[in-house]
Structure 1
Amino acid sequence: MTTARSNDAPTAMIDRVASLLQVFDGGHRFTLAEVSRRAGLPRSSAHRILGRLVDLGWIERRGFEYALGIRMFELGSQVVRRDGVHQAALPHMHALHRSTGLTVHLSALQSGDVLHLERIGGWPEKGEGWRLGARQPAVHSAAGRALLAQLDDADWPALSYPPPATPGGVRTEADLRREIDRVRDRDGVAVDAEGCSAGVTAVAAAIGPSEDGLSAALSLCGPATAVPVDRAVAAVRRAATDIWYAAFGVTRLRGRPTRPVHAALPLADALTAVARG
């Protein structure tokens, strides 16, 4: 019995550390009492684990509050930035932001959510779902629907349908399938007009699978009253295709607009600047 307890101890400790770290999902700061309550750990255990994580740089302490530390950022950045699509996307994302004035996201499908891997632009300033590192339900997100549309329905991950934030959001599988049909009719570009967040219009296109299987989408978002959707669709489609070519080293032949494998994105004639407002 002593052996069984010793074998279980490392797993139990890992579970405690994981439950504690998950408290900080969202980038907030918490006191020891809040961490203990949210993680479901005794105050003494939470204090001991937090102290060690502070020593390692995984957690930082300011006064009586704790937050994720710089070491967590370093480790997470290494995971994301090793991906070829992410590296190829950065210059195109900056160019797209400069030419449109809109916020650009690079997102990946993770189970039934989309995870925002990169963000260029400061709007919206509020809204947890739009920040770097945040997740949004795939069914509510333009990026999520663009990624789902490039998959066979049988390959979809398990999806949830939480109540949408607006009356125009997706509520059922039937709603989602109608939206996916629209994405496919639009050659792989998804448009979400205030379905995910009130006052926000987002346009997204799938880039295609990376060399290690991470499927990513590029999106633009901005105030619903200021996004010219047709021009945003053309801009996102072209930029997503350019990223695919850059990531996989495919030479584009002039006069022969071929489609990247898996991406299902026809080439646009030009990158159209989208004016803000």
Structure 2
Amino acid sequence: MANSSTGDSVLTRLDRVLSTFSAAESLLSAAEISRRTGLPPATAHRLCRDMAELGWLESLPGGYIIGTRLWEMTNRSAPTMRLAVRARPHLSDVQAVMGQHVQLGVIEGHEVLFVDRLSAREAPRIHGGVAGRLPLHVSATGIVLLAHASAEFRMFYRSHHDEKVPGGTPTIAEDRLEQVRQQGYCAQTGVIEPEVTGIAVPVRQRGRAVVAALGVVTDDDDVARRPAPWVQMLQIAARGIQREISGQN
């Protein structure tokens, strides 16, 4: 397939097609993909057909869904998936005790990408899920990652995300991020969902670099008042993940 008349490469067009799918809209017709990507209908139909033949998409009576080929390759080789696999037993331990949402996030661009999440029936309904994204400064998991990013990255992020949570409290001021670094965790309530608290701690590699953040999301009122027991459990799990990804026994 040659480049388009607009100069878009084949890979760019493939990425535009794949980016149209979401958890809420997992089945799309070629016509809808054409509309969302801006690709000519004939081009969108051809790309969808070719991607289905390769397993990138799967053709169904109502349109196309993401194919299993992507899932297969991602699980086999992506570093984030290897991290999620090694961390899963520790997330399971935390979730079994806390009975709430437990999630693992990494920095992806200017967002936190949630590479794994375990939930319980009693846990509150919250936004997103595995492979979901949020701006770094709106979740406890993201703030932990932002706090441990380089000074240059933090300055650049603040210059592009000068926002405040309800009540006017700056979430990304440097003194706030310094507090998170010093105390070893972030806790905040009501930023995304009312009366829902997020607590997160850093996950480090052997060289002490922060590579992920481990968090819990709950509507338990006691968490905001007494975060210490929750933080301690998360830190124990984070050290377990560190041993796994650092190859320590």
**Does the aligned pair in 1 maintain the 2:205–2:245 contact within 8 Å?**
no
Question: In the alignment, what sits opposite 1:133?
Answer: 131
Matched, 1:200 2:196: yes
What is the alpha-carbon distance in structure 1 between the residues aligned to residue 92 and residue 147 of structure 2?
26
Equivalent position of 1:247 in the other structure: 245
Tell me whether 1:220 sits opposite 2:216 in the alignment.
yes
Task: Output aligned runs, 1:126-165, within 5 Å.
Answer: 127=127, 130-156=128-154, 158-159=156-157, 160-161=160-161
User: CA 1:210/1:76 → structure 2, altered by over 3 Å: closer, same or farther?
Assistant: farther
Unaligned runs of at least 5 residues, structure 1? 252-277
Deviation readout 1:5-64 (Å, 9 max, x if unpaired): 968899622221111111114462222222111111111111111111122221123322
TM-superposed deviation, 1:248 = 1.7
Q: CA deviation at 1:179?
A: 2.8
Structure 1 residue 236 corresponds to structure 2 residue 231: no
Q: Which amino acid aligns with 2:9?
A: A
- Mapped to 2, the partners of 1:210 and 1:60 lie a distance apart of 41
Which shows bigger deviation, 12-21 or 105-114?
12-21
1:117 aligns with 2:115: yes
CA displacement 1:136-155 (0-9 Å, x = unmatched): 11111211211222234224
For 1:26 and 1:169, locate their aligned partners in 2 and report how far apart those are by CA, in whole Å. Answer: 32
Q: Kindly, what percent of the aligned residue pairs are identical? A: 25
Distance 2:2 2:103 in 1: 45
CA distance in 1, matches of 2:169, 2:114: 20
Is 2:15 the counterpart of 1:15?
no
The answer (yes or no) to whether the contact 2:203–2:210 under 8 Å persists in 1 is no
Pair 135,245 (structure 1): closer, same or farther in 2 beyond 3 Å: same
Q: Which residue of 1 aligns with 2:166?
A: 167
Query: Does the aligned pair in 1 maintain the 2:58–2:66 contact within 8 Å?
Result: yes
Asked if the contact 1:170–1:176 (Cα under 8 Å) also holds between the matched residues in 2, the reply is: no
Task: Tell me if the contact between 1:189 and 1:203 (Cα under 8 Å) persists in the aligned partners.
Answer: yes
Q: 1:240 Cα deviation (Å)?
A: 0.8
SS state of the match for residue 20, structure 2?
helix
Q: Does 1:180 align with 2:172?
A: no
2:39 matched to 1:37? Answer: no
CA RMSD of aligned residues (A): 3.1
**Residues in 1 aligned to 2:48 and 2:217: alpha-carbon distance in whole angstroms:** 37
Query: Structure 1 residues 146 and 13 mapped into 2: Cα distance closer, same or farther (>3 Å)?
Result: same
Letter in 2 for 1:32: A
Query: Aligned-pair distance for 1:247?
Result: 2.5
Pair 1:158–1:74, CA change in 2 (3 A): farther
One-letter code aligned to 1:63: P
Residues 153-178 of structure 1 show CA distances to partners (whole Å, capped at 9, x for unaligned) of 224484242867x6158667xx4324
2:33 and 2:162 mapped to 1: Cα distance? Answer: 26
Counterpart AA for 2:190? E
Q: 8 Å contact 1:58–1:68 — kept in the other structure? A: yes
SS in 1 for 2:173: helix
CA distance in 2, matches of 1:131, 1:65: 24
CA distance in 1, matches of 2:199, 2:17: 36
**Which range moved further: 81-90 or 190-199?**
81-90
Partner of 1:97: 95
What TM-score comes out, normalization by structure 1 length? 0.74
